[in-house]
Amino acid sequence: MCCGGCEAVARAIVENGLGDYYRTRDALPASPREAIPVALADLGIFDHAGFQKTFVRELGEFEREASLIIEGITCAACIWLIEKHVAGQPGVAGVEINFASRRARVRWDVRRTRLSAILAAVAAIGYVAHPYDAGRSEALARKERRAALWRLFVAGFGMMQVMMYAVPVYLAGEGDMTADIELLMRWASLVLTVPVVFYSAAPFFRGALRDMRLRRVGMDVPVALGIGTAFAASVWATLMAAGEVYFDSVVMFVFFLLGGRYLEMVARQRAVSVTEALAKLMPAFAARVPDYPEERSIERVMAVDLSPGDVVLVRPGEGFPMDGSVLEGSSSANEALLTGESLPVVKAPGSEVIGGSLNVESPVFVRAERVGEATRLAAIARLMERAALERPRIVQQADRIAGVFILMLLLVAVAVAVVWWFIDPSRALWITVSVLVVTCPCALSLATPVALTIAGGAMARSGLLVTRSHAVETLARVTHFVFDKTGTLTQGRLGVAGILPLGRLGGGECVALAARVEYASEHPVGLALREAAGKVEGRVECVVNHPGDGMQALVEGRSVRVGRPGWVSELHGQPLPDTARAFLSGEETVVALGDDSGWLALFRFSDSIRPEAAMMIESLRAAGLHLVLLTGDEAPVAAYVARDLGIEEVRAEATPADKHAFVAQLQEGGAVVAMVGDGVNDAPVLARAQVSIAMGGGAQLARTQADIVLLSENLEHLGQGYWLARRTLRVVRQNLAWAFVYNVVALPLAMFGFVTPWLAGIGMSGSSLLVVLNSLRLQGAKQVGN
């Protein structure tokens, strides 16, 4: 047990007979701090009818249902624990938690319990439940998912059944099957293909229509044309009881294409959840102090109800609910996700605070200056939206080729029909159909998506989640790789990089002593010291936190300070020894340890570079890419990291708008830019770059903008992913070349009437199959590579 909070949580779990949690969990809770139950009084606000309006539904006279997001869920055991615990509360009619989305639905009886009691029960076992507006994006996402799954099912089941009718016809020898049975099979196939073409394939037809209205030829046009031609020819053949049918090819083609699109959508929804992004960044509630400074009593209000001039109390560990300035108290704020600054920034009375940043050390009173849409965070979100609209549309090679090809094909088909009409009108129709079928752009339109889907699957297995399928293709064409620093190339947290003992104690003892003084600190320095010390033993007394300076405590009767060297020397009045000068001259953070008799040690801290970063940079440089470090952090720190990794170009102290402008400027020069970042300040530039890659542990807002999410947080996988993308592009080119050659050879044969319609059908399926098999090589190559 690390603290009273954990103890309370463990007691609540064991007393309720839920000890099974400890046996079955396979991941530890997110962090010890999250496990401290929140003050129960704060939950009272959830019982107000006006507040409940947005997320509570009335099911009956007394029954209510609420939608909640639950934070802190790490594994299946957590879900089991929460469900059992909440369902065991009196008055709770039901509770369901979705494993994938972490959304919970709770139903209860208003006569027997209140919502705040349910939330308190969730808090008692160490999780945090937020209400969220279920009405919009989640419901929309679910509807989209269900519709897509339904289309896929119709296509898949239709495919299986149509195959059942088609295979006997293929296998039957001459005279095995009477004409009327074959006709019966055709009619059965027709009946089952109709829903596949008119329902499952509807998005392709709609897309094609939209493209045509905009006078461009997109990927949907050849697909729609292929499906339409083959289906129309088959229907004609069935009605006339002559010629060949291609119902099996049509349904199979639709099923493969929809399957790829469905997988892509699921990956995107898993990585991106805008509601979650907004719910997590800005705290939903604020503690307003209405009668400041006379009266310090607080009232809980929703952050959106704050207005400029309100005074708000922000406790350590909470986020600032708006932009403002500090009135009373001093602390430091972690703004890493918003500005890229890796160290907490000191906040004294008069300092500006940014909404969405985290209060680290002690409670402060803040006067609200800009709220809601006026905050800097909202401005970043707007910048991001604009950038997403401006994102340069990369015209895909396949689209261009297919577009030209389709036009040519249609002209040729018309010409063939006209010419044969004069030569032999009885054969004109079937030869025209053969031309259209044999040159069906199926292989051409499968060439790109199949390869991209398979490459996406291979990448997902090594922790790179591709959320937009174009990303793989674009990644392979990248000329510039731009990296954020804090949290991307570096760990995003401090580590002890060096120790210089100055007094009677050795290095290890000094670290242990400093860790004791900092035992309760949430400051990155304190965290780093505790991590370096391992176990913190022994009690200290009279701990005083001086924000901006350091920590002071009484250890075995001596005053000990850990903090800024100048401030530590005030304790004993001795100047720093000369041996320490060199230690101080670096660019990194240096913290001193001293007691009332003199100096004890100096510690150097740095935000350590991810160990695999150098390898990835090396691998990207081998590919001849231009690498840039683009960060909001200070220039010396940025230069140090760049030098260490061998990145030539550095842009430091960049605001989100600067970053956006820099990438836009690169793009004007013809560069294809891949941006790798993690923070909110990276969101606009991620939206702007042709390919954006976000770290899995970064800000949700950054992830919503990413084409690829690096879930494993292992940069080496990014390097491997890049090479896989290049291989994928090669396979796509092979596929396109093959499809093109096939068509060029088959077209003249069909034009001169050498290809019977059934031969055309085999050619069409065969060329598509070859494309699929060639793409499957990407999967095999990946495994060998590992």
Q: Is 19 in the site for other proteins (CB under 8 A)?
A: yes
CA 318 – CA 287 distance, rounded (Å):
11
Least gap, CB of 65 to other proteins (angstroms): 14
Residue 387: count of CB within 10 angstroms of its CB:
22
DSSP count for the chain of H helices, then E strands: 28, 27
> Among residues 484, 607, 633, 678, which one is catalytic?
484
Which pair of structure tokens corresponds to residue 489?
């190339």
CA 449 – CA 386 distance, rounded (Å):
28
CA 452 – CA 470 distance, rounded (Å):
8
Least gap, CB of 84 to other proteins (angstroms): 7
- Judged by beta carbon, residue 180 or residue 295, the one nearer other proteins is 180
Least gap, CB of 89 to other proteins (angstroms): 16
Name the segment binding other proteins (CB under 8 A); options: 155-163, 330-338, 489-497, 642-650.
155-163
Name the segment binding other proteins (CB under 8 A); options: 17-25, 331-339, 384-392, 655-663.
17-25
Residue in 4, 17, 392, 646 binding other proteins, rule: CB under 8 A: 17
Q: Is 178 in the site for other proteins (CB under 8 A)?
A: yes
Q: Is 74 in the site for other proteins (CB under 8 A)?
A: no
Residue in 95, 185, 360, 475 binding other proteins, rule: CB under 8 A: 185
Judged by CB under 8 A, the number of residues near other proteins is 35
Least gap, CB of 709 to other proteins (angstroms): 19
Q: Is 191 in the site for other proteins (CB under 8 A)?
A: yes
Q: Is 153 in the site for other proteins (CB under 8 A)?
A: yes
Question: Coil, helix or strand for 653?
Answer: coil
Q: What distances in angstroms separate CA 654 from CA 119, 419, 484, 605, 697, one per listed residue?
A: 42, 66, 10, 23, 22
The H-or-E segment that residue 627 falls in is strand 626-630
Q: Is 1 in the site for other proteins (CB under 8 A)?
A: no
Name the segment binding other proteins (CB under 8 A); options: 34-42, 188-196, 534-542, 595-603.
188-196
Binders of other proteins among 99-128, rule CB under 8 A?
99-101
CA 399 – CA 68 distance, rounded (Å):
43
Q: Is 77 in the site for other proteins (CB under 8 A)?
A: yes
- Judged by beta carbon, residue 49 or residue 100, the one nearer other proteins is 100
Least gap, CB of 82 to other proteins (angstroms): 12
Cβ-contact 431, 416 below 8 angstroms: yes
Beta bridge partners of 482: 628, 675
Tell me, rounded to whole angstroms, the distance of Cα 766 from its chain centroid. 38
Name the segment binding other proteins (CB under 8 A); options: 46-54, 97-105, 337-345, 696-704.
97-105
SS3 of 351-409? CEECCCCEECCCCEEEEEEECHHHCHHHHHHHHHHHHHHHCCCCCCHHHHHHHHHHHHH
Binders of other proteins among 316-345, rule CB under 8 A?
none
Cis, bond preceding 293 (omega within 30 deg of 0): yes
Residue in 161, 559, 608, 734 binding other proteins, rule: CB under 8 A: 161
Question: Coil, helix or strand for 300?
Answer: strand
- Judged by beta carbon, residue 141 or residue 208, the one nearer other proteins is 141
Longest Cα pair distance anywhere in the chain, in angstroms? 112
Cβ-contact 351, 325 below 8 angstroms: yes
Beta-carbon-side half-sphere exposure of residue 50 (alpha carbons within 13 Å): 4
Name the segment binding other proteins (CB under 8 A); options: 141-149, 221-229, 370-378, 633-641.
141-149
Binders of other proteins among 392-411, rule CB under 8 A?
none
Q: Is 188 in the site for other proteins (CB under 8 A)?
A: yes
- Judged by beta carbon, residue 159 or residue 354, the one nearer other proteins is 159
Q: Is 140 in the site for other proteins (CB under 8 A)?
A: no
- Judged by beta carbon, residue 99 or residue 198, the one nearer other proteins is 99
Residue in 124, 192, 442, 666 binding other proteins, rule: CB under 8 A: 192
Q: Is 520 in the site for other proteins (CB under 8 A)?
A: no
- Judged by beta carbon, residue 192 or residue 286, the one nearer other proteins is 192
Least gap, CB of 157 to other proteins (angstroms): 7
Name the segment binding other proteins (CB under 8 A); options: 5-13, 121-129, 177-185, 472-480.
177-185
- Judged by beta carbon, residue 164 or residue 527, the one nearer other proteins is 164
Cβ-contact 553, 543 below 8 angstroms: yes
- Judged by beta carbon, residue 54 or residue 98, the one nearer other proteins is 98
Q: Is 98 in the site for other proteins (CB under 8 A)?
A: yes
Q: Is 97 in the site for other proteins (CB under 8 A)?
A: yes
Least gap, CB of 153 to other proteins (angstroms): 5
Which pair of structure tokens corresponds to residue 208?
């094609």
Q: Is 142 in the site for other proteins (CB under 8 A)?
A: yes
CA 420 – CA 400 distance, rounded (Å):
30
Name the segment binding other proteins (CB under 8 A); options: 12-20, 207-215, 655-663, 774-782.
12-20
Query: What backbone phi and psi angles, to 5 degrees, belong to 128?
Result: -115, 125
Least gap, CB of 75 to other proteins (angstroms): 8
Using the CB atoms, write b or e for 155-194: b if 16+ within 10 Å: bbebbebbeebbeebeeeeeeeeeeeebeebbebbbebbe
x/- track of binding to other proteins for residues 21-60 (CB under 8 A): ---x------------------------------------
Tell me, rounded to whole angstroms, the distance of Cα 47 from its chain centroid. 34
Q: Give one DSSP letter per residue of 426-484, joined into a string.
A: HHHHHHHHHHHHHT-THHHHHHHHHHHHHHHHHHHHTTEEE-STHHHHHHHT--EEEE-
CA 104 – CA 601 distance, rounded (Å):
51
> Is 399 known to be catalytic?
no
Least gap, CB of 195 to other proteins (angstroms): 8
Nearest to 629 by CA among 691, 675, 694, 686: 675
Least gap, CB of 557 to other proteins (angstroms): 49
Nearest to 285 by CA among 42, 37, 33: 42
Beta bridge partners of 673: 480
Q: Is 262 in the site for other proteins (CB under 8 A)?
A: no
Q: Which residues sit at the interface with other proteins, rule CB under 8 A?
A: 17-20, 24, 76-77, 79-80, 83-84, 97-101, 142, 145-146, 149-150, 153-154, 157-158, 161, 164-165, 178, 181, 184-185, 188, 191-192
> Among all residues, which ones are annotated catalytic?
484
